[in-house]
Amino acid sequence: MIRLHRREALKLGLAAGLLPDVATARPAPDASPLLHGLGPRDDAPWHLPQSDPSRLLLDDGWRFHEGDIDVPSPVGHHLTYLSVKAGNARGPAAIDWDDGDWPMVRLPHDWASAQPFVQTANVSQGYRPRGIGWYRRTFRLDPVDRDKRLELHFGGIATQATIWINGSVVARNFSAYNAIIIDITPFARFGEEDNVVAIRVDANAMEGWWYEGAGLYRHAWLARRPAVSIATDGVHCDPRQEDGTWRVPVTLTVESIARDPRSMRVTAVLRDPAGQEVARQQAMLDIPSLKQASVALTIPVAAPHLWSVADPALYSVDISLDGPDGSDRRIIPIGFRTIAFDADRGVLLNGTPVKLKGVCLHLDHAGVGVAVPDALLAWRLARLKDMGCNAIRCSHNAQADEFYVLCDQMGFLVMDENRIFNPAPENLAQLEWLVRAHRNHPSIILWSVFNEEPMQGTRAGVEMVRRMRAAVRELDDSRPVTAAMNGSFYDPDNVSQVVDVMGFNYYPNDYDRFHVLNPRQPITSSEDTSAFMTRGAYASDARAHVSASMDEEAADWGATHRKAWKAIAERPFVAGGFVWTGFDYHGEPTPYEWPTIASFFGILDLCGFAKTAYDIRRAQWMDDRAVVGVAPHWTWPGREGQPIDLLVTSNAPRVRVRVNGRIVADQPCDRIMGVAVRTSYEPGLLEVEALRDGQVVARAAHHSAGPAVALRLTPTRAHLRGDGEDVLAITIDAIDARGHHVPVAQNLAHFTVTGATLIGVGNGDPNCHESEKAPERSLFNGLAQMIVQAGTGRGQIRVEAQADGLRPSRLILPQLAVPMRASVAALPPRTLVGDWRRSPVFADRPDPALRPADGDNNLWAFVRAGTPTPADIAPQWRIYRAALPQRKAIIARGGKISFAALAGQVELWVDGRQLVSRSKTTSGPLVADLPSGARDLVLLVRSDAGQLSGLLGRVQVEARD
Ligand code: GAL
């Protein structure tokens, strides 16, 4: 994401709140609290710095095929022999596979999010078929990149992936949640030849009991580094304080593909939040060829500006590695803070107790599934911050890299979590990756090795945790290790005995007992609540699968928001809690299954629209400003004069409720439990005021709405950045004749977006089966959402929403010209005929029908186009044979074959017919028309004495236009 500075925004007349280009009304000043936080916000403070300048984004230009492709086994000895050779992968993994008719997609991509809901599909995955998919991407490398270290990075692929580069398998990955780092240097091709990445993704594999999506759902990158480079995740710099003195220990791991040993200079520069140099250290490092080496530096710092939840000050360590092969660099954001878990006082941040006001998060959002663009992720996190949330548990797996960067910037405390509980080498490697990749983030305060494992009360479980904890501590000795346990707390052998912090999933009644029995062990709730709410619904209806948003229903193992927090807030020895969950998520529909396809647990729904839980949690958690909320809304036609039960929530000590100006309640308010008020319904205005010392410190109001007359569009930002990646959410609601939000509207709205791409829609209804990709959506209890993605460059985005019987709404937003992130060019792929067989020599012109005997892997040589045949003493004939790559377009229309440089006297034959000949011995290009359906290519070449001959350059085929 590119940061737009406030100054720039002002220049463009776009300072938050001005919105000159929004044609239709945004929520009026008296807008319903149901829309609070959905209006345009200034997101300038959040940005993703380029911490690894050697990386190029590899997000666009991917070809995608949904479903598997059957590759018949080779028949015959010769084909079998060839099929197992490096570079000779077959089927869609082959370099030459024709993917020209596969649709293009941009990452992040989740193909499951476009699937319909199917009752026979897996319930936990949200009734969406997932299946198998293929991706292919071609790219070219400049010859100046030869001798560089080249890596492919995939942020995450759901779920199991096999990856080939140029026909050789280079990775098999078994988890959706770890990054995949692949050194492709030995496989790379430079200059005119394409490099082909092919990926088979098996999303039938499951690692979770929630919606996991399918495909390349995080960013991909190409890293181009000097031959001696800083290893990926090879910088560890996590500030420490000892005896009141701060220092930044920097450990750098360097690796070399150079041919000889090298001596390198390492420089680490510490910069303060304003970018000013604070200190620097240098060292020399010797590194042998094809080996790794490490160097440790220490940067002492006097009185740094501390990182905290309220003031997340970030320094950076700018590390460079310089030597004869060039420079490599990383810029690592760091924060100076101390974290300690105390058995009596909970967690201490910089020496002061901080209650963890946390949420558990899965990954997905309405409309886009798990392929959440960075800007949407930032918006989701900002929504949490707005309600006073200060902690996030990555349940039950690593999040995207960008998540941790944003948590550092926004001031969240993060419990990072490993997915698979298993210390066998493959899974231990995933845990080690998690720690190595994330350990520099000041936001991370706790490593969790598992969530709810039935072996938690066994000797084997204890032994597994011991090994996993040791692996974590080996890489990071500064943060404690926990495990999220849901029982076995007192078993003779149980995991709580071998973790640093005890994590309780639910079981609030055990907090005291455990503390008494284990007075020296710090405790946190790792998961709590699991309450049910349907956003915007205020009466439960089990037959319709609706749970009232009044905080009265919870899972048997859980508790309402109020009860769950009370148990935590009242116990200083419980470090804090993590609500299950911050946002609703697809899958794990609880308490209702089909036709319900998503969860009801969120404080916010699938779109990030607030439920009543949001007001409850704001009252409980928000310390820096007064808040007040009231549920339900105030639009109850037909219920005039009947009693309505209100839940008023505030962090102020007293609240006052007015109906049409008349005070109907004035009473103390419990910050945790809120206050229940019964009043009778009278259309008009319901107002709540929060009072401190007799002064009104916060207000909220609901207007009774009349019938809906128009739609309204409210963007979450006043512009899009034209970087091809940026997204914003647009809220669609209906308003009545006076402009008031209609909280009961359920109209189907149709959308038209020009100048940008509509990448998904949603409405937060866990029972809705409408497509999340179609340009239409029903309002659900008054609200729906569009996610719109920017194109590139300066432009204008027009959005229109229409619904039968309502006035349409139009929105015009500017798209700003901003720099795009450096990316790997997506050029049209070339079809080259690279692999040839070359016969032994003939003194006389041979028969072009001659071919290698079946099984001959020796007499006829394997040659690549571009590799000349060495000079002969006397002229000689040779046959060169190749199979033409099969391209549907060429089969259909015929094409052209071009030899960039052929040396010798030449005849070109295709499928037994001579196409063209050159009788003079010469060296130069040759072009011929190809008939449609051409397959078998034969060149007869007669060399000239003392001259190179044969295929001196590339051979390319193109379809006829
Ligand atoms: C917990 C589990 C979560 C989720 C939740 C639903 O036991 O850790 O992943 O399933 O229950 O209440």
Report CA(676)–ligand 1 centroid distance (Å). Answer: 29
Mutate to test the pocket of ligand 1, among 580, 592, 601 (most ligand atoms within 8 A of CB): 580
956 close to ligand 1 (CB < 6 Angstrom): no
Q: What is the CATH number that goes with domain 62-105+107-225?
A: 2.60.120.260
| Residue of 833, 951, 955 lying closest to 898 (CA atoms) | 955
pLDDT value at position 27? 39
SS3 per-residue string spanning 205-249: CCCCCCCCCCEECCCEEEEEECCEEEEEEEEEECCEEECCEEEEE
Q: Kindly report the CA angle at 202 between 198 and 203, in degrees rounded to 5?
A: 130
pLDDT value at position 305? 98
555 close to ligand 1 (CB < 6 Angstrom): yes
Atom of ligand 1 nearest to the CA of 395: 9
789 close to ligand 1 (CB < 6 Angstrom): no
User: Is the separation of the CB atoms in 554 and 562 below 8 Å?
Assistant: no
In one-letter notation, the amino acid at residue 812 is: I
Distance CA 675, CA 688 (A): 12
Question: Token pair 């039968």 is at which residue?
Answer: 804
Nearest protein Cα to ligand 1, atom 11: 530
Report CA(737)–ligand 1 centroid distance (Å). Answer: 44
- Superfamily for domain range 229-334: Immunoglobulins (2.60.40.10)
pLDDT value at position 26? 41
Mutate to test the pocket of ligand 1, among 453, 527, 592 (most ligand atoms within 8 A of CB): 527
Report CA(174)–ligand 1 centroid distance (Å). Answer: 23
pLDDT value at position 45? 65
Q: What are 193's two structure tokens?
A: 């030849």
Atom of ligand 1 nearest to the CA of 452: 8
Distance CA 715, CA 785 (A): 10
Report CA(753)–ligand 1 centroid distance (Å). Answer: 38
Report CA(209)–ligand 1 centroid distance (Å). Answer: 9
pLDDT value at position 495? 98
pLDDT value at position 16? 31
The pTM of the full predicted model, rounded to 2 decimals, is 0.95
Helix (H) or strand (E) holding 431: helix 425-438
21 close to ligand 1 (CB < 6 Angstrom): no
Report CA(786)–ligand 1 centroid distance (Å). Answer: 29
- Superfamily for domain range 414-601: Glycosidases (3.20.20.80)
DSSP label at 309? S
Distance CA 879, CA 775 (A): 58
* Burial label, 29 (beta-carbon count in 10 A; 0-12, 13-18, 19+): exposed
Report CA(294)–ligand 1 centroid distance (Å). Answer: 41
pLDDT value at position 48? 87
170 close to ligand 1 (CB < 6 Angstrom): no
| Residue of 195, 194, 214 lying closest to 204 (CA atoms) | 214
pLDDT value at position 377? 97
Distance CA 39, CA 59 (A): 29
DSSP structure string for 457-524? GSHHHHHHHHHHHHHHHHH-SSS-EEEEESS-TTSSS-GGGGSSEEEEES-GGGHHHHHHH-TTS-EE
**714 DSSP β-pair partners:** 731
User: Is the separation of the CB atoms in 184 and 139 below 8 Å?
Assistant: no
Rg of the Cα trace of the chain? 32
529 close to ligand 1 (CB < 6 Angstrom): no
pLDDT value at position 31? 58
Mutate to test the pocket of ligand 1, among 506, 530, 581, 601 (most ligand atoms within 8 A of CB): 530
530 close to ligand 1 (CB < 6 Angstrom): yes
Report CA(408)–ligand 1 centroid distance (Å). Answer: 26
Dihedral of the CA atoms 460, 463, 465, 468 (nearest 10)? -130
Mutate to test the pocket of ligand 1, among 362, 364, 452 (most ligand atoms within 8 A of CB): 452
| Residue of 100, 436, 364, 66 lying closest to 217 (CA atoms) | 364
Instruction: Establish whether domains 62-105+107-225 and 831-959 are of one fold.
Output: yes
- Start-to-end Cα distance in the chain: 39
Domain positions in the chain are 62-105+107-225, 229-334, 414-601, 831-959
124 close to ligand 1 (CB < 6 Angstrom): no
Report CA(68)–ligand 1 centroid distance (Å). Answer: 32
Nearest protein Cα to ligand 1, atom 12: 530
Is-cis flag, bond preceding 591, omega within 30? yes
pLDDT value at position 78? 85
Distance CA 316, CA 53 (A): 14
Task: Establish how many alpha carbons lie within 13 A of residue 783's alpha carbon, considering only the half-sphere containing its beta carbon.
Answer: 30
DSSP label at 111? G
Atom of ligand 1 nearest to the CA of 530: 12
CATH 2.60.120.260 fits 831-959, yes or no: yes
Report CA(772)–ligand 1 centroid distance (Å). Answer: 25
Q: How many helices (H) and strands (E) does the chain have?
A: 10, 56
Report CA(12)–ligand 1 centroid distance (Å). Answer: 47
Which SS3 state, helix, strand or coil, does residue 609 take? coil
Q: What are 498's two structure tokens?
A: 């071998």
Give exposure, 371-405, as e/b (b: 16+ Cβ within 10 Å).
bbbbbbbbbbbbbbbbbbbbbbbbbbbbbbbbbbb
Angle, to 10 degrees, between the axis of helix 561-569 and the axis of helix 612-621?
Answer: 10
Atom of ligand 1 nearest to the CA of 396: 9
Atom of ligand 1 nearest to the CA of 558: 12
Nearest protein Cα to ligand 1, atom 4: 580
50-109 residue pLDDT tens: 899 999 999 999 999 999 999 999 988 888 998 999 999 999 999 999 999 999 999 999
451 close to ligand 1 (CB < 6 Angstrom): yes
Average pLDDT for consecutive 10-residue bins of the chain (961 residues)?
34 30 36 78 77 96 97 89 93 94 97 98 97 98 96 98 98 97 97 94 97 98 98 96 94 97 98 97 97 97 97 98 96 98 98 98 98 97 96 98 97 98 97 98 98 98 98 97 98 98 98 98 98 98 98 98 98 98 98 98 98 98 96 98 98 98 98 98 97 96 97 95 96 96 98 98 98 98 98 97 98 96 92 94 97 91 95 97 91 92 96 93 93 93 96 93 83
Nearest protein Cα to ligand 1, atom 3: 580
Distance CA 177, CA 451 (A): 15
User: Is the separation of the CB atoms in 208 and 588 below 8 Å?
Assistant: no
